Structure 1
Amino acid sequence: MMKLYHFPLSGHSHRAWLFLNLLGLEHEVVEVNLAQGEHKSANYLRLNHFGQVPVLQDGDTVVPDSNAILVYLAKKAGRTDWLPEAPAAAAAVQRWLSVAAGQIAAGPAAARLITVFGAKLRPEEVIPRAHAILALVEAALQGRDWLVNDQPTIADIALYSYIAHAPEGNVDLSGYPQILAWLGRIEALPGFVAMPQTKAGLVA
């Protein structure tokens, strides 16, 4: 059985757990206690030298990094609906995975790190960065339901968690009607599981 090492309040962990559930794949979830430094223990560092969550263990195969896990699971399950084979669509998915690792991490995710985890970042820098990428996602969703195709792909899953929880970092989503509708479509997918919400930021 696949094993997912995760931390419940991590959006990176959530995107991997969400996709496992959307695919209906049998798995075990192992919580990594970040507060106690389990992610820096010798045993965990053998799984992921970077000391980060999540990590997927599938038999002898170990896959660190949330976006890599999305790719692995889609390929493992043979789900070309979630990860298209066509060159242009595959490239478009990769582009959004880069956005998830770049602008989303530096914007909405970073803003939430301040309020939820006490990160020493500057809200006046990261909140405008969050709105800059949200404006681009809002524009990309104009006239379409999903980011790449006429059905969801791992691009949508990679962006979902931190955008959905952006208000916890004082990033207001009320000005993004396309994004709000898109979040609702993801939450309506069979097998959807939510990330725990914290009483922080705008939802405090």
Structure 2
Amino acid sequence: MVARKPPIGAPPRPISVTSSFVFPTCRRLSAVMFVSSEERGEYELPPANATGETMSDERLVLHGSFTSSSSYKPMLFLALSGLPFSFRTVNLKNGVQKEAAHLAINRYGQVPVLRHRGLTLVMSNVILDYLARTTGHFEPKTEQHRWQAREWLSWENDALTNVARVRHFARFRPDVSQDIVNFFRPGAEAALDFADKSLAGREWLVGDACSIADIGCWGRMVFAHEGGLSIDGRPNLAAWRDRIKALPGFALPYDLIPKKDTEFEGR
């Protein structure tokens, strides 16, 4: 058996998650891609980054965009964790995500992408899952809570995505019919109502501390106001948002995600 590498920047608490937990979790999350160094195929990693500097396999490298809630979720995880990482910007407006260089690491032509230890991972919730298990940060303490955190991520990908859709059409597609926005709005409102109700009498979605469930769900809600959706009108949700904003290292997307390639040295 090959010994596992120690977690990077992890707290002393060990994480008892086996492969029987890892791979079923990945399969349950939608549109999963999890590529090992032995299975790179079309995702063969280039030996150097865009500037020609050789990147260490231990260095977390996140590709994303400052306008993307999907990019914000892993970016916020890294910021709250205080971990060093490299950010590579992908200009969605200019269509960089559809160019050959980006398609070589993300066949879907989307962001984010995480590269680490010979792996290439796409889809924001898969990346959150990986980061929690690899670093130990924002991973719930019990196995039951770990499963529930991933349950919330699956729900987010199904229900809270309506918030992103409303925001997308309201902000970026003024040319489309308002009927399209109105089609997704009831689902978005219902998802926010459900989250508000679920937070009644509790501080966090799972357990007694912030986890990837909170980061994933908040990361999708963060642009709600750009679609005319309100968090302030939901008291449990608003209090939860304020608790997240009070965490060390927190920043909103436009303050956190740079518009150019950046190195973050952590804290």
Q: What is the TM-score of this pair, normalised by structure 1?
A: 0.89
**Aligned counterparts of 1:58 and 1:104: Cα–Cα separation in 2:** 28
Alignment check: 8 A CA contact 1:57 1:63 kept = yes
Counterpart amino acid of residue 169 in structure 1: G
Alpha-carbon contact 2:61-2:115 (below 8 Å) kept: yes
For 1:192 and 1:174, the matched residues in 2 are separated by 19
In 2, Cα distance between equivalents of 1:32 and 1:164: 20
Gaps of 5+ in 1: 198-204
Partner of 1:104: 160
Residue 75 in 1 paired to residue 130 in 2? no
CA RMSD of aligned residues (A): 1.6
Alignment partner of 1:110: what SS?
helix
- 1:13-162 residue pairs with structure 2 within 5 A? 13-79=71-137, 82-84=138-140, 86-105=142-161, 107-118=162-173, 120=176, 122-162=180-220
Deviations 1:90-146 (A, max 9, x none): 2211211012211111x2111100122117471222111111111110110000000
> 1:114 is matched by which residue type in structure 2?
F
Separation (CA, whole Å) in 2 of partners of 1:36 and 1:175: 36
Q: How many residues align?
A: 194
Residue 9 in 1 paired to residue 67 in 2?
yes
**Could you tell me how far apart the structure 1 residues matched to 2:150 and 2:231 are?**
25
Helix, strand or coil for the counterpart of 2:86? Answer: strand
Q: Which residue of 2 aligns with 1:175?
A: 233
How much has 1:51 moved relative to structure 2?
A: 1.1
Structure 1 stretch 119-128 or stretch 108-117: which is displaced more?
A: 119-128
Number of the residue aligned with 2:28: none
| Contact 2:163–2:188 (CA under 8 A) maintained in structure 1 | yes
Contact conserved, 1:104 with 1:162, CA < 8 A, in 2?
A: yes
Cα distance in 2 for residues equivalent to 1:59 and 1:34: 26
Percent of paired sites with the same residue: 35
Q: Which amino acid aligns with 1:139?
A: K
TM-score (norm 2): 0.69
Higher helix share: 1
User: What is the Cα deviation at residue 85 of structure 1?
Assistant: 5.6
CA distance in structure 2 between the aligned counterparts of 1:75 and 1:162, rounded to whole angstroms? 21
Deviation (angstroms), 1:36: 1.8
Secondary structure of the 2:79 match is helix
State the secondary structure of the residue aligned to 1:4: strand
Q: Which amino acid aligns with 1:75?
A: R
Q: Which has the higher contact order (CA 8 A, sep 6+)?
A: 2
